[in-house]
């Protein structure tokens, strides 16, 4: 289930900002091999994409504390998209979504959940906490790549992908 994307809109202003570099993806995933696979698939979907990894919810929040609008002096690029795992030690994806919701009524970027959980209540809870979509994490590598590429195309947008590609060509 997912919320329909708004395209370039004030709801997710990070996706509409013109940059020298391409858009930014933050992957919050405790399984490092899966985080790296998500990054590879995302870069295939969008060659100019800058990917940052946080390997647990604590590190994800530490990253987000350093971006606008959560600080007045950002030291990291605000992500255009966050792909978030739910089931993580220390601080799970629900707690990350809760932290975001406590600080912003309207998130400045879409958060898409990619999880091994197949529980309907987990999906409903993630959407209630502000995720725009929840996807079951495939165990097959090719299927995982397809899901990630679809997410990137849907939430970052094909026009920014084409623009970043053209900028990279000079």
- Which of these, 71, 84, 88, 87, lies nearest to 111 by C-alpha position? 84
For tokens 């799970």, the residue is 92
Q: Is 5 part of any domain?
A: no
What end-to-end distance do the CA atoms of the chain give, in Å? 39
Q: Is 82 part of any domain?
A: yes
144 touches 37 (CB < 8 A): yes
Other residues' Cβ atoms within 10 Å of the Cβ of residue 146? 14
pLDDT digits 0-9 by tens, 72-129? 888 899 999 999 999 999 899 999 999 999 987 777 899 999 999 999 999 999 999 9
Q: Is 143 part of any domain?
A: yes
Q: Does the structure show a pLDDT above 70 at 149?
A: yes
Q: E strands within 35-153? A: 50-54, 81-84, 111-115, 133-136
Residue 2: band (very low, low, confident or very high) from pLDDT cuts 50, 70, 90: low
CATH number at residue 64: 3.40.50.2300
C-alpha–C-alpha distance, residues 107 and 98, integer Å: 11
Q: Greatest CA separation found in the chain? A: 48
The SS3 call for residue 91 is coil
More reliable by pLDDT, 70 or 93? 93
pLDDT digits 0-9 by tens, 4-50? 444 433 344 443 333 456 799 999 999 999 999 999 999 999 988 99
Q: Is 14 part of any domain?
A: no
Q: Is 6 part of any domain?
A: no
Residue ranges making up the domain that contains 136: 20-162
The SS3 call for residue 139 is coil
| Tally of structural domains, the chain | 1
Q: Does the structure show a pLDDT above 80 at 152?
A: yes
Given the DSSP bridges, would you call strands 24-28 and 50-54 parallel, antiparallel or unpaired? parallel
Q: Is 113 part of any domain?
A: yes
Q: Is 97 part of any domain?
A: yes
The SS3 call for residue 53 is strand
Which positions ≥6 away from 69 have C-beta within 8 Å?
78, 104, 108
Question: Average pLDDT, stretch 122-149?
Answer: 95
Residue 68: band (very low, low, confident or very high) from pLDDT cuts 50, 70, 90: confident
Q: Is 10 part of any domain?
A: no
């Amino acid at each position: 289930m997912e919320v329909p994307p708004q395209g370039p809109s004030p709801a997710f202003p990070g996706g509409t900002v013109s940059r020298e570099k391409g858009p930014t993806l933050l992957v919050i995933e405790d399984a490092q091999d899966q985080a790296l696979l998500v990054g590879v698939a995302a870069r295939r979907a969008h060659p100019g994409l800058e990917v940052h990894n946080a390997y647990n919810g604590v590190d994800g929040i530490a990253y987000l504390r350093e971006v606008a609008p959560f600080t007045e002096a950002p030291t990291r690029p605000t992500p255009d998209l966050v792909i978030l795992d739910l089931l993580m030690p220390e601080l799970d994806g629900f707690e990350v979504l809760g932290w975001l919701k406590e600080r912003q009524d309207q998130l400045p970027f879409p958060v898409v959940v990619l999880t091994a959980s197949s529980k309907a209540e987990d999906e409903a809870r993630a959407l209630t906490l502000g995720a725009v979509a929840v996807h079951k994490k495939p165990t097959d590598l090719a299927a995982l790549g397809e899901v990630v590429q679809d997410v990137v195309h849907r939430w970052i947008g094909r026009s920014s992908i084409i623009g970043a590609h053209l900028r990279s060509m000079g």
